[in-house]
Amino acid sequence: MLIVSLIMLLLIIFGIMIFFFRKIMTQNVTVATMHLDELSRDYAEKEKRINQQLEEANEKAQEIVSTAQSEAEKIRSETIRQAEQERDKMIQAARTQTQEMVHQADNSCNQLISEMEDRISKEAVKRACDLTHDLLPEEFRKLVHGQWVEDLIEKGFNQAERLRLPEGIEEATLVSAFALSDEQRKRIAKKLKDALGKDLAIKEAVDPKVVAGLVITIGSLVLDGSLKNKIKEKTR
């Protein structure tokens, strides 16, 4: 009977211990569950904040990328515009330089042509005078010269009346194809005096290259009545 009582007591004690152990375990589980719930809520809150921050960061990144793309497009457009302006300037400068070069080339060409024509004209005049002098007999040239001088004395000094003699001129140089006669010399001196209004000392010279006629030089004034000058006029 005592053993049964002890067994019953042990069972009662064991039951009480199981009850308290279950209660303690239940409390611990509840506390643990509450703690887990708090951790879960905290984690969810943190996750929400992190997701929000990530979204804000993505928006800012997208805004930065968009701004960078816009700035890059502006820089590209400005660079292209400046490059086109520089290209246009270079093309215009090259065109202007080319036009100047062409203009200079034309001027040089025209000047060269003019110099060649002038040289050819002078050479042609010289050649014609040389041929006239060499081919025509002297007597014939002298006859032509005499008649030429007579015509000059009669009609060739009319234009001299409109000329104004420079100050301080007292002498005239006369170059003729053949020597003048005393009568021709006096008539020429009188014609010069009548035309210019003063007596001039005449310094005479003979140059066969004149071919026929004469050339009178008074200071800077030149009265060219030579056959050489007539040939020159005809070859222009």
List, for residues 156-183, the tens digit of each pLDDT value.
766 665 566 667 788 889 999 899 888 9
- Write down the pLDDT at residue 204: 92
203 pLDDT tier (thresholds 50, 70, 90):
very high
Q: Which two tokens stand for residue 38?
A: 């708090």
List, for residues 16-67, the tens digit of each pLDDT value.
777 666 666 666 667 667 766 677 777 677 778 877 887 887 788 788 878 8
> What residues contact residue 157 under an 8 Å CB cut-off, 6+ apart?
191, 192, 194, 195, 223
- pLDDT of 209 over the 80 cut: yes
- Write down the pLDDT at residue 137: 79
117 pLDDT tier (thresholds 50, 70, 90):
low
Q: Which two tokens stand for residue 233?
A: 């006029």
Give the bridge partners for 175, in sequence order: 205, 215
User: Per-residue DSSP letters for 125-184?
Assistant: HHHHHHHHHHHS-HHHHHHHHHHHHHHHHHHTTTGGGGPPPPTT--EEEEEESSPPPHHH
Rg over alpha carbons for the chain, rounded to the nearest Å, is: 64
What is residue 207's three-state secondary structure? coil
Q: Strand 221-226's sheet: what is its strand order?
A: 201-206, 171-176, 213-218, 221-226
Say which range, 135-139, 164-168, 170-174, 221-225, has the weakest mean pLDDT.
164-168
List, for residues 60-107, the tens digit of each pLDDT value.
878 887 887 888 788 888 888 887 888 888 888 878 887 888 778 778
Segment holding 226, helix H or strand E: strand 221-226
Give the bridge partners for 226, in sequence order: 213
- pLDDT of 132 over the 70 cut: no
- Write down the pLDDT at residue 108: 75
- pLDDT of 191 over the 90 cut: no
**Average pLDDT of 118-124?**
65
Q: Tokens 């007539």, residue?
A: 230
